[in-house]
Structure 1
Amino acid sequence: MTKLTFQAIQAKQSQTHTVLSFAVLASELQQFATIQRVARNEAGALSGFQRPQIAGHIREIRDYLEKPEAILPNPIVVAFTDRVEVGPVDADGRCAVTIDLKLGAPGLVVDGQQRLTALSQVHDKDFQIFVSAVICADEAELRRQFVLINNTRPLPKSLIYELLPTVRGLPRRLGDRSLAAELAAKLNYDQHSSLKGYIYQHTNPTGIIRDTAIQRVIINSVSDGIMREMVKEPNGIELCFDLVSEFYRAVQYVFREEWRDHTPKTSRLVHGAGIMALGYVMEILALLDGARSWQDFARGLACLVGRTAWTSGQWDFGNGDQRHWKSVQNVNRDIVSLAQYLNTIVRNDVKARRAAAAEALDLEVSVLSARAQ
């Protein structure tokens, strides 16, 4: 069979999209709809958009569907960009929808992947289900609909964020994070990045640093820090990328023993709290010390050596606030306390180095003046 035709109802919703609803057998749905798992190639290019399967959840749905009294009222949402035709629509919205299968399944599952997978594992009956079909102009619009539809559902936020750079026309609250997500992905996959392979994403589940932590460093900087003006430059993305990469290269150099072979459980340096707190140190060194290269940042970080408790000991945040190194958690209060502690040391060091440089300059001027006389 090269074509499937169903009687459908067209909803009057968006003027730029066609939205249809119809009932199909599970076996028919599997002929025209597929699930694209999110992945990246060796160059870091993103493809697909669905999260990995959750085996336990699928098994529960399958066991339920095998019962005689099972119902599945929630529709599977499928998006099409081509090979689907909608016949004349009558006054009540009724029409025929024809799906061309010659080149394979043209539909992509936007919502309901776990249900569809569970349906494929039910063998003793061909369950009939509802499909909500959305016809999109192109794949970019399809991705946009996926993000918008799933953003209010309990999908992992990190998956939504990883997809954001491929989508345009988003609400501002999502658009603002798109730059951070783009830079985080570049930091994770660019061969020149000091963080290559370190960042946990759905396409890199072996990463140890949470993508949301790196994104927060970038968001803070773009909002109120050094990147605010930097990103406006013609090569702004590259400048921001280099800044973050060089800073964490310096972190790895200065605190090599606390970084190498560690996880967030064994070192607060690669923990979300440490990553975000150090982001504020990056701002101080970039803004007040003019640091851009990893050597510049390493010089500014040197004052912290012997005064941290990344993997053992205690933090002394002052005013009687002493913490076991492992008690620092990824919560705003702890991040602020850690950032303030580190920032105070670094700011004082910058001031001291400036004062020493000024004193040396004054001495040199005095010597030259004396010689001139």
Structure 2
Amino acid sequence: MTILKFPAIRARQSEAHTVLSFAALASDLQKFAVIERVARDATGGLSGFQRPQIAGHIREIRDYLEKPEAILPNPIVVAFTNNVDISDEGSDGRCTVEIDIDAGPPGMVVDGQQRLTALGQVFEKDFQVFVSAIICRDDEELRRQFVLINNTRPLPKSLIYELLPTVTGLPRRLGDRSMAADIAARLNYDETSSLRGQVYQHTNPGGLIRDTAIQRVIINSLSDGVMRELIREPDGADLSFKLISDFYEAVQYVFKDEWRGHTPKTSRLVHGAGIMSLGYVMEILVLLDGARTFDDFAKGLACLVDNTAWTSGEWKFAENDKRHWKSVQNVNRDITTLAQYLVSIVRADVRRRRNQNGSEGSPQKIAER
């Protein structure tokens, strides 16, 4: 059995957690801690949590550490769920940490992955660093600590959001986004999704549509739209997933030439402004037209075909407000303007079809569909 031992100090912070601090050589640290980068398996299952390494940042740290006067006062934060014991603990918090590395490194780096990677590239000296260790109950607790520790640091928000569905017991402001993040991830990986593989996430960097844009559509709907009611059903998450998948399938069908083969730079349809503004169109079609399926949404979107400028021309928002198609940006002001424009056209079309259909288009009939 291979055991690494370090004299440590235990901090009395929480009855539910064990928090320790000790110093270790970089070579030893790499024996008991690993950097597990966020990834998904073939079925969409999430593993790991660290963002991709930043080569430029690592190179700068390495170049600095190679200098004789270099210091690294910030600790590497490592979390353990097993194969670590505390012995010889005294009343003053002094103790010995024993780490069993027979089965491989049992610790996961929670904070300091770029520093640790840089340390591994310094060959002239074996740098000694501080380690802050957290002993967690299980993997879920480990992920929770990663989210809470890094949420106030400059990590990409989309990475934090992608991890949220795997964590419970979070602050309200993060918990509210968890459902949206879960549905967005399902839209990206479920075989039945119309957006499969098209959403940009840290586990899918080839996606074109920003996950934060899709999440905003879902959050708005969960707060004030149709999903607020759907999510209360026993299969509410499934119903919400199908609704938004059917809607964007209809969008891709109705505007196939403006969607297929485009990027946010060449089409405002797959741009954050287009995705989010169309979310309001989905809500109005559900509310006024009783839309629920692909066919319903495709019929409701048809009126927009000759009134949009997703890839060329100009938007005619008002008599004195005409803009080049590319001038619409992913800012609240432009998203609101575009949404109001699209919704006004859809509202008028719904009224027109009601008048044509007579009693079949009455509010009562629409509500019964």
TM-score by length of 2: 0.97
| Cross-structure match for 2:40 | 40
**Does 2:42 match 1:49?**
no
In the TM superposition, structure 1's runs of 4+ consecutive aligned residues that sit over 2 Å from their partners are 359-362
Q: How far has the Cα of 1:153 moved from its partner? A: 0.4
Shift of 1:359: 6.3
CA distance in 1, matches of 2:319, 2:175: 40
| 2:189 counterpart residue number | 189
Q: Does 1:143 align with 2:143?
A: yes
Cα pair distance change 1:110/1:360, threshold 3 Å: closer
Per the alignment, in what secondary structure is the counterpart of residue 307 of structure 2? coil
Match of 2:336 in 1: 336
Asked if structure 1 preserves the Cα contact closer than 8 Å seen for 2:159 and 2:201, the reply is yes
Are 2:347 and 1:353 equivalent residues in the alignment? no
Letter aligned with residue 316 of structure 2: D
Listed as ranges, the matches of 1:1-373 within 5 Å are: 2-358=2-358
Please give the alpha-carbon distance, in whole angstroms, between the structure 2 residues aligned to 1:299 and 1:237.
Answer: 25
Corresponding residue number in structure 2 for 1:371: none
Structure 2 Cα separation of the partners of residues 75 and 270 of structure 1: 42
Which runs of 5 or more residues in structure 2 are unaligned?
A: 363-369
Q: Distance in 2 between matches of 1:259 and 1:149?
A: 39
Mapped to 1, the partners of 2:301 and 2:216 lie a distance apart of 21
Residues in 2 aligned to 1:92 and 1:335: alpha-carbon distance in whole angstroms: 58
Amino acid at match of 1:70: A
**How big is each residue's C-alpha offset from its partner over 1:82-101, in whole Å with a ceiling of 9 and x where there is no partner?**
00001142222111110001
In structure 2, give the amino acid aligned to 1:224.
D
* Separation of aligned partners in 2, 1:88 and 1:291: 67
**Compared with structure 1, are the counterparts of its residues 125 and 360 closer, same or farther at alpha carbon in structure 2 (3 Å cutoff)?**
closer
The 3 A distance-change label for structure 1 pair 360 and 150 is closer
Residue 287 of structure 1 and its aligned partner are, at CA, apart by: 1.5
C-alpha spacing 1:128/1:356, structure 2 compared with 1 (3 Å): same
* C-alpha distance in structure 2 between counterparts of 1:77 and 1:304, whole Å: 53
Task: Quote the Cα distance in structure 2 between the aligned partners of 1:37 and 1:305.
Answer: 43
User: What value does the CA root-mean-square deviation take over the aligned residues?
Assistant: 1.1
The farther-off stretch of 284-293 and 55-64 is 284-293
Structure 2 CA distance for aligned equivalents of residues 349 and 4 of structure 1: 72
Secondary structure, in 3 states, of the residue corresponding to 2:13? coil
Residue 360 of structure 1: how far off its partner (Å): 7.6
Amino acid of the structure 2 residue aligned with 1:35: I
Quote the Cα distance in structure 1 between the aligned partners of 2:315 and 2:124.
61
Q: Helix, strand or coil: the match of 1:21? A: strand
Partner secondary structure for residue 91 of structure 1: coil
Q: Separation in 1 of the partners of 2:79 and 2:7?
A: 17
User: Whole-Å Cα distance in 2 between the matches of residues 320 and 7 of structure 1?
Assistant: 73
| 1:337 CA displacement | 0.2
Say how many residue pairs are matched: 362
CA distance in 1, matches of 2:73, 2:50: 22
Q: Deviations over 1:276-333 (max 9, x none)?
A: 0000000011111111111110100000011000000111111511111001000000
Question: Secondary structure at 1:12's aligned position in 2?
Answer: strand
Secondary structure, aligned partner of 2:306:
coil
Q: Which amino acid aligns with 1:337?
A: T
Q: Deviations over 1:214-266 (max 9, x none)?
A: 00000000000000010110000110000000000000010000000000000
Residue aligned with 1:317, SS:
strand
In 2: Cα distance, 1:33 partner to 1:258 partner: 48
One-letter code aligned to 2:164: L
Aligned equivalents of 1:277 and 1:48: distance in 2?
33
Aligned amino acid, residue 351 of structure 1? R
Does the aligned pair in 1 maintain the 2:25–2:127 contact within 8 Å? Answer: yes
1: CA distance, partners of 2:70 / 2:236: 55
Task: Find the residue that maps to 1:18 and give its secondary structure.
Answer: strand
Q: Distance in 2 between matches of 1:111 and 1:319?
A: 54
Task: Look up the match of 2:365.
Answer: none
| Deviations 1:193-221, CA, capped at 9 Å, x for gaps | 00000000000000000000000000000
Structure 2: distance between partners of 1:83 and 1:317: 63
Tell me, in whole angstroms, the C-alpha distance in 2 between the residues paired with 1:187 and 1:247.
Answer: 12
Say if 1:258 and 1:87 are closer, same or farther in 2 by CA, change over 3 A. Answer: same
What percent of counterpart residues are identical?
73
TM-score, length of structure 1 as denominator length: 0.96
Letter in 1 for 2:113: Q
